[in-house]
């Protein structure tokens, strides 16, 4: 509640707080409209971040980070991932002082969670961000999480679907399972973005996409096969993959289960929905497309990621050409 209070000052149940973007919330000790209040307010407004009088704990740091522009600019999907680590951090070290964190503590936290590799690595990455924020607000002069390595997976890397499995899926699948499959393969997009695609996104024989993870905006031309599938699909809702008489949007779990059922029938359990994104890049690479052309379809920002997806297909194409020349 404002009631004549200056900028960034709020009255919450009779207690005054200074709340400014990028700063921890500070309780103002002086009474409003007094000389002491004017002096305290001027000091806070001048940007004296060290004036925060509460304990500099991880709980306070996380509250400050969540209120910052850095956090607010994150995509919804990224926020959901970050929040899991932030909640874990508050539970484990929330009351500890931020200044006590050492490099060995980051490594210990990472290794304690190595059974869930992605989460373990996320701890390192999020703590690195939190420590950068701590530096920004004057709570630390260094970042002990910087340079801490991420754990490597022993699992086999995800691979593109081989052509025989793609052909087998198309032979067996029907309905939404086939539609989802062709949308993933034909557009080269992540399943989350595929499930959000609307009929209204189709424009000039292509489809407009805004990627949830990167916020990249793309227009992806439809392949002839995908155009044929879409032409035969009833429009029963706003989203292309909608189902039921009410046109309800298909959930990620629903899509994964439908596709998994077909994968089991054809012996393709090793190849998942995200692997179709690899397959799209691989098909483009085998067709001789440059990194820039592939990135225009998939929305990747760097050639390094394209190389990860398209490298094997390019190697096969070049090897085939080389052997042909030997003849």
CATH number at residue 261: 1.10.443.10
For the ranges 7-16, 51-60, 81-90, the one whose mean pLDDT is highest: 81-90
Based on the domain organization, do 203 and 321 belong to the same domain?
yes
Confidence grade of residue 321 (pLDDT, cut at 50, 70, 90):
confident
167-193 average pLDDT score: 96
246/130 same-domain check: no
Q: Are residues 43 and 80 in the same domain?
A: no
Residue 210 lies in a domain: yes
Q: Among residues 18, 36, 51, which one ends one of the domains? A: 51
In sequence order, which residues have a C-beta less than 8 Å from that of residue 162 and are 6 or more positions away? 271
Per the model's pLDDT, the better-predicted residue between 304 and 228 turns out to be 228
Residue percentage of the chain with pLDDT more than 70: 94
Q: Are residues 176 and 242 in the same domain?
A: yes
Residue 26 lies in a domain: yes
Stretch among 23-27, 164-168, 210-214 having the lowest mean pLDDT? 23-27
Q: Verify that 80 and 184 share a domain, yes or no.
A: no
Domain that holds residue 20: 9-51
Looking at the structure, tell me whether residues 107 and 214 fall in a common domain: no
Report the pLDDT value the prediction gives residue 15, as an integer from 0 to 100.
76
Instruction: Decide if 305 is inside a domain.
Output: yes
| In-domain check, residue 69 | no
Between 28 and 252, the more confident residue is 252
Q: How many structural domains does the chain have?
A: 3
pLDDT at position 288, please? Answer: 86
Judgement on whether residues 82 and 203 belong to the same structural domain of the protein: no
């Amino acid at each position: 509640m404002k009631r004549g209070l200056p900028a960034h000052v709020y009255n919450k149940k009779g207690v005054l707080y200074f709340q400014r973007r990028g700063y921890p919330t500070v309780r103002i000790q002086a009474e409003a409209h007094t000389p002491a209040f004017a002096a305290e307010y001027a000091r806070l407004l001048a940007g004296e971040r060290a004036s925060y009088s509460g304990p500099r704990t991880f709980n306070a740091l996380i509250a400050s980070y969540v209120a910052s522009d850095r956090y607010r600019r994150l995509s919804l999907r990224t926020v959901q991932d970050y929040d899991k680590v932030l909640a874990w951090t508050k539970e484990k070290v929330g009351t500890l002082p931020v200044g006590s964190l050492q490099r060995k503590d980051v490594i210990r936290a990472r290794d304690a969670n190595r059974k869930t590799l992605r989460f373990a690595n996320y701890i390192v990455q999020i703590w690195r961000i939190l420590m950068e924020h701590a530096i920004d607000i004057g709570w630390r002069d260094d970042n002990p999480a910087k340079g801490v390595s991420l754990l490597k997976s022993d699992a086999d890397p995800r691979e593109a679907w081989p052509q025989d499995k793609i052909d087998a899926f198309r032979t067996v699948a029907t309905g939404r399972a086939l539609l989802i499959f062709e949308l993933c393969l034909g557009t080269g997009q992540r399943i989350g973005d595929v499930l959000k695609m609307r009929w209204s996104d189709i424009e000039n024989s292509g489809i407009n996409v805004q990627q949830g993870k990167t916020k990249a905006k793309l227009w992806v031309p439809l392949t002839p096969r995908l155009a044929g599938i879409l032409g035969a699909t009833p429009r029963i809702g706003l989203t292309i993959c909608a189902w039921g008489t009410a046109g309800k949007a298909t959930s990620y779990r629903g899509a994964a289960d439908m596709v998994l059922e077909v994968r089991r029938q054809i012996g393709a359990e090793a190849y998942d929905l995200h692997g179709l994104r690899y397959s799209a890049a691989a098909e483009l690479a085998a067709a001789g497309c440059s990194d820039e052309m592939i990135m225009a379809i998939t929305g990747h920002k760097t050639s390094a990621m394209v190389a990860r997806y398209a490298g094997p297909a390019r190697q096969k194409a070049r090897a085939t050409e080389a052997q042909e020349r030997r003849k």
